[in-house]
Every structure is written in structure tokens, then in C-alpha cells.
């Protein structure tokens, strides 16, 4: 868990500080941990039994990069197959997506690949996609090998991390990695300089935006 840094860098004197908002969607099979990843990232919490998400949930979280503030507008979607027909409106116009699977559930990995295919076909062409192999804390029950998922991610130019919403392993990191890849500002330039991967602002709903 990253140390809470409420000062953030919200109004760093001197340096340029743009605020950019990005729509991020989470997709993946039911019960792989989409809501748990978001809850960990946004509130730093974890519930062993997270209520099933109906439709979708909406949350925001702000992270500060070296020269910009990134505000994620996160749409956490329902995982069940029949809610699939509602998914396009959530990924429509999204600049980022995290496709989640459960490393102990091979089927969920297959489903994740289908989501990636659908996004490649239907989502905005510049969408930044990440693949998250969640539940890394129960690696002893693993059925999806790291190497396999990593190779798949490389082939498809996806960011890839194994995560654990329970232990918070790689949770902030995957969001930060996405933030780094997002085009900030009209110049479309990559952020320059070093990026502090460990200091997303916790529980600062929209405070340094606007």
C-alpha cells in the first residue's frame, strides 16, 4: 500500500500542472475481483465478500504524475455474461480499460481474451489497455501461468500485471502504469522526467481537479 500523500503535488509551485480526466472501464468475468480492485485503489479497502455489481458502479480517483494530475472516472461493470449487451456504452469513448481475470480460473482468462478482442474491434483505437491477473495472493491455486498471460499481453501490446486486491499488490501500480501511458494535454506528449509510482492520492475525491 502506498503511503498516503495528501499533499500530492496538486498545486506544485513552478511546474506545469495540467489536470486531465480519463474514462477508464473495468471488464472481466463475474467474481474475478473488478470491484475489489477499484475499492482498493479508490478507498484502500478490501471486503472478503464484495457484493455483486449490478449494471455498473462509478467511482473516481485522482493520481498525480510529475507534470500532470490524472483524474480517473472509473466505470466498474457487472461481470455476468448477460450484462455484456450493456458493456459497449461503458467502453464507448473510454481512454483506458483494465481487463481482469482470476489467476485461479482458466475460464476467466479465456473470457478476458474475448474482452480484449472486443475492445480491439469496437473501442476507441487509442485506448490504453491493461490486463490484470487478480487474486495473486492465492498463487498456490494458480491455473493460469504468469508466462502465458505475459506472452499474450506482449503479443497484444497490453500492460500486464498480476494483482491482488486483498494484499493490494500491484493495484496502485497498474493504475499508475496506465496513467503514464495516457496522452496528457493537447501536445500528446509522454510525460517527461521521473514518475513517482508510489504516490497516488488516496481518498481525495476530485480535490485537485478543475
Partner 1 sequence: MTAWHFTGPPGSVNSSSSVSDRRTKEEVAEEAMYVFNFYPTHSKSHKKIDFRSDVDDLGFMRPWSTLEESGCQKQYETWYASYLPIVVRRRCRWEKENPRRNSHLLQRFVRKGIPHTFRKELWLRSCPSRKDGVWQRHEVPDEVIKQIKLDLPRTFPDNKFLKTETTRKTLGRALFAVAEHIPSVGYCQGLNFVAGIILLVVNDEARAIDLLIHLVSQRQDYYGKNMIGLRRDMHVLHSLLREHCPRVIVTLEKLDVGLDMLVGKWFVCWFVESLPMETVLRLWDCMIYEGDEWLFKIAVSLFRSNMIAISSCETIDQLMTEIQNIGTSKAALYCHQLMMKSAALPITNKSIENLRVVAEKEIPE
Chain residues binding partner 1 by CB under 8 A are 21, 23, 30-31, 47, 49-56, 58, 60, 71, 73, 75, 78-80, 82-83, 85-86, 89-90, 93, 206
Q: Minimum CB separation from partner 1 for residue 203, in Å?
A: 11
CB of 51 to partner 1, least distance (A): 5
Nearest-approach distance from CB 127 to partner 1, in angstroms = 17
- When the beta carbons of 56 and 182 are compared against partner 1, the nearer one is 56
Nearer to partner 1, 90 or 160 (CB): 90
Q: Dmax over Cα atoms in the chain, in whole Å?
A: 51
Minimum separation from the CB atom of position 192 to partner 1 (A):
28
CB of 193 to partner 1, least distance (A): 28
Of 94 and 159, the one with the shorter C-beta distance to partner 1 is 94
The nearer residue to partner 1, 50 or 120, going by C-beta atoms, is: 50
For residue 57, CA distances in Å to 88, 104, 187 come to 15, 25, 32
**Minimum CB distance to partner 1 smaller for 71 or for 166:** 71
Amino acid at each position: 500500500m502506498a503511503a498516503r500523500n495528501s499533499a500530492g503535488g496538486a498545486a506544485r509551485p513552478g511546474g506545469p500542472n495540467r489536470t486531465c480526466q480519463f474514462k477508464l472501464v473495468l471488464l472481466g468475468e463475474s467474481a474475478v475481483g473488478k470491484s475489489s480492485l477499484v475499492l482498493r485503489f479508490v478507498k484502500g479497502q478490501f471486503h472478503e465478500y464484495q457484493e455483486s455489481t449490478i449494471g455498473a458502479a462509478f467511482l473516481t480517483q485522482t493520481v498525480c504524475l510529475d507534470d500532470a494530475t490524472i483524474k480517473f472516472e472509473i466505470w466498474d461493470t457487472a461481470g455476468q455474461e448477460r450484462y455484456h449487451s450493456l458493456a459497449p456504452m461503458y467502453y464507448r469513448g473510454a481512454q483506458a480499460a483494465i481487463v481482469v481475470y482470476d489467476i485461479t480460473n482458466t475460464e476467466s482468462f479465456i473470457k478476458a481474451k474475448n474482452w480484449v478482442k472486443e475492445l480491439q474491434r469496437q473501442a476507441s483505437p487509442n485506448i490504453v489497455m491493461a490486463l490484470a491477473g487478480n487474486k495473486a495472493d492465492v498463487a498456490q491455486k494458480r491455473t493460469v501461468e504468469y508466462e502465458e498471460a505475459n506472452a499474450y499481453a506482449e503479443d497484444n501490446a497490453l500492460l500486464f500485471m498480476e494483482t491482488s486486491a486483498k494484499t493490494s499488490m500491484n493495484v496502485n501500480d497498474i493504475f499508475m502504469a496506465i496513467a503514464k501511458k495516457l496522452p496528457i494535454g493537447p501536445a500528446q506528449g509522454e510525460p517527461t522526467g521521473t514518475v513517482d509510482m508510489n504516490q497516488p492520492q488516496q481518498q481525495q475525491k476530485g480535490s485537485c481537479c478543475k
